Structure formats: C-alpha cells, structure tokens
Structure 1
Amino acid sequence: MPGSAQIISYIAALGLAAAIPGPGMTALVARSVSTGAVAGFAMLAGLILGDLFYLSVSVFGLALIAHSWSSLFTLINWAAALYLAWLAWQFWRTNPQAVDIAQKATKKDLASAWLSGLTITLGNPKTIAFYLAILPLVMSLDNVSLPIWGMVLVPLTVLILFVVGAVFILAALKIRHFLSSAAAQRILFRSAGLIMLLAAVGMVAKTF
C-alpha cells in the first residue's frame, strides 16, 4: 500500500491540476450558470467518470503501450485536438438567451450535461499524460494490485475531483444572477470556447 506521504503528494497534485481552469472546469461553470446546480453535478459526474477511465488505463499499463507507439499517440492527440476545436466552435457560435434561473433542468439537460462532461475528458489526452506522470510518484505501476486501484486510487480520485468541481459549481451559482443575461452568457460561452481552442492548439503543438 502507498504511504501517507505518497498519498498526500497524489492528493496535492490532482487537486492542483483539477483547480487550474481548463476545458472541463470552464464548461462546468458555463453549464452550471446556464442550467443550474443539478446539471452542473451531472456534468461533474461525467468528468469524473472520464478521469477514472484514464486512471484505470494508466494503472493497468495499456497507456504505456499507446505511449510507446509515438505515431499512435500523435494520432490520438490530433483527434482529440480536433474534437476540442469542434467544441470550441460550438461554444463560440452559441446564441444564448437570457437564463430563467428559476427553471429546473430536464432529464434531457441532465443526460446532455453528463455526456458532455464525459466526452470532454475523454477527448483530452492531457488527462492520461497527467496520470502517467503522477502515478509513478505514488507507486510502481508494475506492482499495482486491484485492491490498491479499487480501495485507494479510485476513491481518492473521485473525492478530490468532486470537491474541486463542487467548489466551481457553487461559485458559479453565487454569480449566476449576474451572468443570466444573454450578453453575459455569450461572453461566458465564448470564453469557454477560447480556452478549449487554446487547449487544442497546445495539444497539436506538443506533437511537433
């Protein structure tokens, strides 16, 4: 089992990485403002599930195979960058209306929010690069057992991402009244689109 110092290092690294605004957290704030807390937490669930997928892939070594095939890893980066660029375009061209903050999210809104969170994370290979970089600080990937993965890494990852995501959601709700106008919504969505576009450009730049 990993020691307390290793666990604290993992918590600190993951918490800091999650707290730095990126495509996921930016979209989470936009969704929370436009559709409310329930939809925000639905998107957060999707984001966390995507992280757990990449965590599992990293732990059990499949990512090491992809990483050793540089051409495949480059292709993944390009595909993910194109996806993020498409999301950026969707955010930028959105023509939002003023938000009725009293309106509750529908089941369709919740399903859309969850799927968006999942696809944003899965479309970002930087997530798997993070786990490949930080996990060796916690333990040897060659010696990871199923109990360590299921009883230590998964619960810690879920807890950290939930806490950080909840802070973003609650902060968005605090200022939701001020961001509910169509003009504010347009600025928010275009800001999210710009961040996603920059993330896509950065991913492509790393392949050269």
Structure 2
Amino acid sequence: MEHFTQLSTYIFTLFLAALLPGPGMTGLMFKTLSQGYQAGMVMLLGLMTADMIYLSASIFLLSYINQLSPNFSFYLIVFSSCYLLYLAYQFWTFKGDLLASSNEMNLGKTFSAYKDGLLITLSNPKTISFYLALVPAIFGSVSLQEKSPMLMSVTLLTLAFIGGLYIFCSLSLKKVLKPLHVQKMLVRSLACVMGFLAVSLLYKELNVMAPVYASLF
C-alpha cells in the first residue's frame, strides 16, 4: 500500500511539474512554432534525456554527491538560474517571424534541436529541485535503485504525453500567431516565465544560504 501511495504521489507530482509551463515546455513550444513538429519531437527527446540523467543521479549518485559537496545543489541551481536569465533575454530580444523558418530537417537541425532540449532541461532549476530534492522526499529512506526501472518507465511515459500535448497545442496556435505583434507578445510572455522562475529560485536559494555564509564572518 505504501509503495502504491509513493508511486502515485510521484506520478501526480511529475505530471503537474511537467504540465505547468516552465523553461523546457516553453522552449519546446518555441521550437515547434519556429521549426515545425519534427524539430519539436527531437527537442522533446533531448528534454527526456536530461530528465533521465537527473533521475539516474537521484537514484544512484545522490548520497555520493552530498558527501562530495553538501552545497552542490545550491551552486547548480544558482548557475542554472543565471543560464535561464540569459535564455529569457534571448527570448525577449527575439526579432523576426516565428513561422518563417524552414521546417525541413537535416543533420545539423536535428542535432541542434536535441542539444537545445538537453541543455535547457539540464539547466532548469525546477528539474534539478524536483529530482534531487523532491523525489528523495517522496520515497523517504526506501532504496530507489530497486524501483529504478518502474520510475524511469513512468517518467518517460509522462514526459512523452505532456510534451506531445505541448507540441500539438503549438501547431494549433500557428493560425492565431500569424500577426507579428501576437508572436512578440507570446515570445515575451515565455521570456517572463523563464525570468520569473530564475529570479524567484535565485532569491529563495540565496535566502537559505545567507545565514550559513553570515555565520562564517
């Protein structure tokens, strides 16, 4: 019964975390709108790969990482938040027509789309916090290694479903987004989402660590 409750909580939390617009899914929308559904699908594979990296780290390496550096997650989130601020700036200053790009895929575009998905998720503080903090909290002291095949399977299925939903919705938006001023509003809204998430997480992490560093002086 406890196992079922923990797994249900994990799936529900992951579903909500993926469904709420964050850097990964907003980036997926941007990629699908600008380069088509094929680029969106490849980027989704990159997103899912990065999630698997963090989930694997949570299952197999978390205790080692904490022993190596107790503040590792703090430094990682600060670095990632700064990268997200850079991405928010890129989105905010984007000029041009989202729908004008060619949808034809080649090796270069395929690699670029996969890399974008991988990097944006590896640098997403929400993803880092979910896998390195929330997942251990959900399962407590239970060994996650025994559950790793099931956790990875349900994670991939959930992310594929939510990502596919975002790609479908992005394609449906194309008719609405033909006017350039509407595109500008959307892109700047995505930039605000990224920027707000980065600033809020930076503020939270710095507030948590401030007393620690203050005690050193």
Residue range with higher mean Cα deviation, 122-131 or 175-184: 175-184
Which residue in 1 is equivalent to 2:199? 201
One-letter amino acid of the counterpart of residue 133, structure 1: L
TM-score, normalised to structure 2's length? 0.83
Q: Where do 5+ consecutive residues of structure 2 fail to align? A: 208-217
Give the superposition deviation at 1:170: 0.4
Shift of 1:177: 2.0
Do the aligned partners of residues 101 and 93 (structure 1) sit closer, same or farther apart at CA in structure 2, a change above 3 Å counting? closer
Tell me by how many angstroms 1:89 deviates.
1.1
Q: Which runs of 5+ in 1 are unaligned?
A: none
Asked whether the 8 Å contact 2:65–2:72 carries over to 1, the reply is no
Residue deviations 1:113-152 (CA, integer Å, cap 9, x gap): 21111111111233132123134424635x233x531x21
Alpha-carbon distance, 1:46 to partner: 0.9
Alignment length (residue pairs)? 205
Distance in 2 (CA, whole Å) between partners of 1:89 and 1:54 is 26
The residue aligned with 1:65 is: 65
Q: Structure 2: which amino acid aligns with 1:174?
A: S
3-state SS in 2 of match to 1:95: coil
Distance (Å, rounded) in 2 between the aligned partners of 1:98 and 1:119: 21
Determine if contact 1:34/1:180 at 8 Å carries over to the other structure: no
Q: TM-score, normalised by structure 1?
A: 0.86
Match of 1:93 in 2: 93
Shift of 1:198: 0.9
C-alpha deviation, 1:100, in angstroms: 4.3
Distance verdict in 2 for CA 1:3–1:66, change over 3 Å: closer
What residue identity is the alignment partner of 2:83?
Answer: Y
Q: 1:38-49 alignment to 2 at 5 Å?
A: 38-49=38-49
RMSD of aligned C-alpha atoms? 2.5
Distance in structure 2 (CA, Å) of the matches to 1:41 and 1:98: 17
CA–CA distance in structure 1, aligned partners of residues 63 and 24 of structure 2: 21
Select between 129-138 and 26-35 the one with higher mean Cα deviation.
129-138
Could you say which residue in structure 2 is the equivalent of 1:111? 111
Question: Cα–Cα, structure 1 residues 162 and 63, in superposed 2: closer, same or farther, change >3 Å?
Answer: farther
Task: Determine which structure has more spread, i.e. the larger CA radius of gyration.
Answer: 2
- What is the CA–CA distance in structure 1 between the aligned matches of 2:67 and 2:77, rounded to whole Å? 11
- 1:148 and 2:147 aligned: yes
Shift, 1:68, TM fit:
8.4
AA of the residue aligned to 2:141: S
Q: Deviations over 1:178-202 (max 9, x none)?
A: 2144333322222221111111101
* SS of equivalent residue, structure 1 residue 28: helix
Q: Does 1:35 align with 2:35?
A: yes
2:122 corresponds to which residue?
A: 122
